[in-house]
Amino acid sequence: MKNADVIIISPGVPLTIAGIKEAKRKKVSVISELELAVREIKKPMIAVTGTNGKTTTTALAGHILTECKIPNCVGGNIGTALTDLIEEANRADWVVVEVSSFQLETTPSLSPKIGALLNVTPDHLDRHSSFDEYLNIKLKLFDMLGRTGSVCTML
C-alpha cells in the first residue's frame, strides 16, 4: 500500500482497520467495488437502500422494467457485483442497484436518477457507532440524487 493511489475494498472491510485508516491519513482514495463500477457505467440508475427489503425491491424493479420491455441490468449488493456487469449495464437503458450502508460509505460518485429508501431500523451497530450514524449514511442517498433525481420512500 506504500505507493497506492486507490484502494478498492469489499463492503465487509471496516473503515476503522489500521491499514485503511493509514491510507486515508495519507490521502489515498478508499473506494468500494461499487464505486469502481459506477465510474464506468454511463446509464441512469435506480439505487435501492434500507434495512430490510432491498433485495426484493431491487429484483422487483428489474422485473417491472423487463415486463415493460425496458432493457435493464440488476446488480450491486443483490448477488452479482456491479463490476462484473459493466458491459451489460452499458447496453441496458436502466441499471437497478442494491446498495448497502457499507457501500454508501465508499461510493461517492453514485448519482442515481431514482433513489429508494425503504426503511431504516437499528442494524449493523457493530460496524456503525450509533443508529444516528447508520441513519445518516442511508440518508446520503438523497444527497446523491442531485437536483433532477426522484426519491421513493416508505412511510
What is the DSSP secondary-structure string of 45-113? EEEEE-SSSHHHHHHHHHHHHHHTT--EEEEETTSS-GGGGHHHHHHSSEEEEE--HHHHHT-TT---S
- Among 43, 113, 119, 124, the active-site one is 124
Is 63 labeled as catalytic in the residue annotation?
no
Q: What are phi and psi of 107, to 5 degrees?
A: -130, 70
Cβ contact 57:118 at 8 Å = yes
Radius of gyration of the chain (CA): 16
Is 77 labeled as catalytic in the residue annotation?
yes
Is 124 labeled as catalytic in the residue annotation?
yes
- Among 54, 72, 128, 138, the active-site one is 54
Secondary structure (3-state) at 92: coil
* Rounded Cα gap, residues 131 and 124, in angstroms: 9
**Which active-site residues does the annotation give?**
54, 77, 124
